[in-house]
Structure 1
């Protein structure tokens, strides 16, 4: 097995048109090893402001970001995620919360019905706001040369995160994010080809792209062959067949928890 990545994995993919923002997007890598400590306050404030200024569905602004600094709370999030790099004090930990509670308070004060806040459609609006805010922070952080890792793994025990953060009804901790100074330089993880994941006027049928999928499977096998942290010989198709729906986050009673939080009731 070679100990050097191929050219395809050693550098981000080129784009026909580029600038600093596009280059930063194309150079995204998930970082799981961070230098000790957090970030300076001006940087944290900038990241929070970048996140707050993302697009918001119908101007409802249904997201809240919680910066975790208390070691006990961070340990609770660590326990929920079961990821070793979440524990300790390396990097800044943020939790992005779908927040319909704030608007419930505003409507209650106005004497307006709270029923709309229990609709799946309104929850999805809040989810959209929250994902956009998180991605805004990732782009801002990586443009500053920082490393990031999303923590969808907090869904492994969302109830524990709700308790640790004191989240009220009509809120849901969607995703965590660590931002910090990277202490690793992983290979670039290859993405599915454009022809498989994008279409014009119609859905791109996978059945018409078997050759492209086979080539991608080979590339992914090479990626896992070279990856220092987890050397495996898995194709993308094998990963989907074996791993989709597996793990604590994927098997958590999410709908039950949403209903406990009075979200997505109908």
Structure 2
């Protein structure tokens, strides 16, 4: 019975895989509703004004807390912002992103070492291990895992979302706006709301798997042909969506060309030190 259900689900997955890559893909051996939902993901940047139903935020946090967490440290927190005035201030700090203003809910995902430091004090145990880069990296990884669980959950409810990395442009000001204590850092934001059906937002094609998947050892010595082919598929997508046409290869190169392309995030280490992180 289980095999029959997986086989029946495979055609849907095949269609979704084609949408995700815009190229021929070997037919999947199986499929599932969860895989279909993951393959259907798209960032939503236009929202209806409808409020988020009562109880939704708590449900999303429960889904987030169901993600794996290293040593059960749970080193993250969330600040849920619905006040339009505060959203407007945060939008300005994040580069004037319109979707923050439009979405009825803005979730700020916080790397939270404050709670662990407090617990150490309550236990009369030093929390010196928090001073190391590994601890900050652990916090960032766990926060991202939790947030992605929440995204999968909200999409299953008919909601949409979009990660906002621009919240790291001015982290000290964001911390002040949110009243964050020392040793906390807003890693990214997440807009949440009901997608506006009048706004184009199709599934964006990704790099082909032969550019990102290797067997046994890393082997992308000559990825140029795969990237060039991807540029063409992405331009087709952009044309369909009435977006400016731009090669991924050119956009990616410009995004990492130097500190001037980082929108102030080249100063992130100094900002983290001001916020109480040592990163030894």
User: TM-score, normalising length from structure 1?
Assistant: 0.89
Q: Does structure 1 residue 54 correspond to structure 2 residue 86?
A: no
Secondary structure of the 1:113 match is: coil
Secondary structure of the 1:103 match is: helix
CA apart distance, 1:74: 1.5
Alignment of 1:30-109 (within 5 A): 30-82=43-95, 83-88=97-102, 90-109=103-122
CA root-mean-square deviation: 2.2
Structure 2, unmatched stretches of 5+, are 1-14
Instruction: Give, in whole Å, the separation in 1 of the partners of 2:44 and 2:118.
Output: 38
Contact 1:80 1:156 (C-alpha < 8 Å) held by counterparts: yes
| Aligned position for 1:198 | 213
Contact 1:9 1:189 (C-alpha < 8 Å) held by counterparts: no
Structure 1, unmatched stretches of 5+, are 1-6
Contact 1:75 1:87 (C-alpha < 8 Å) held by counterparts: yes
Secondary structure of the 1:150 match is: strand
Residues 48-71 of structure 1: per-residue CA shift (max 9 Å, x gap): 110111110111000001101233
Instruction: Give, in whole Å, the separation in 2 of the partners of 1:58 and 1:105.
Output: 17
Secondary structure of the 1:149 match is: strand
Residues 146-186 of structure 1: per-residue CA shift (max 9 Å, x gap): 11100011111112210010101111000100111001241
| Aligned position for 1:19 | 32
| Aligned position for 1:125 | 138
| Aligned position for 1:211 | 225
CA apart distance, 1:107: 0.1
- Pick which of 77-86 and 217-226 moved more: 217-226
**How many residues of Structure 1 are paired with residues of Structure 2 in the alignment?**
256
Secondary structure of the 2:170 match is: helix
| Aligned position for 1:173 | 186
Residues 210, 8 of structure 1: alpha-carbon distance in 2 compared, 3 angstrom cutoff: farther
| Aligned position for 2:168 | 155
Q: Which has the higher contact order (CA 8 A, sep 6+)?
A: 1
Please list every run of at least 4 consecutive aligned residues from structure 1 whose deviation after the TM superposition is greater than 6 angstroms. 7-10
Work out which of the residue numbers 156, 180, 190 in structure 2 matches 1:143. Answer: 156
Contact 1:149 1:178 (C-alpha < 8 Å) held by counterparts: yes
Instruction: Give, in whole Å, the separation in 2 of the partners of 1:210 and 1:257.
Output: 37
Instruction: Give, in whole Å, the separation in 2 of the partners of 1:259 and 1:215.
Output: 43
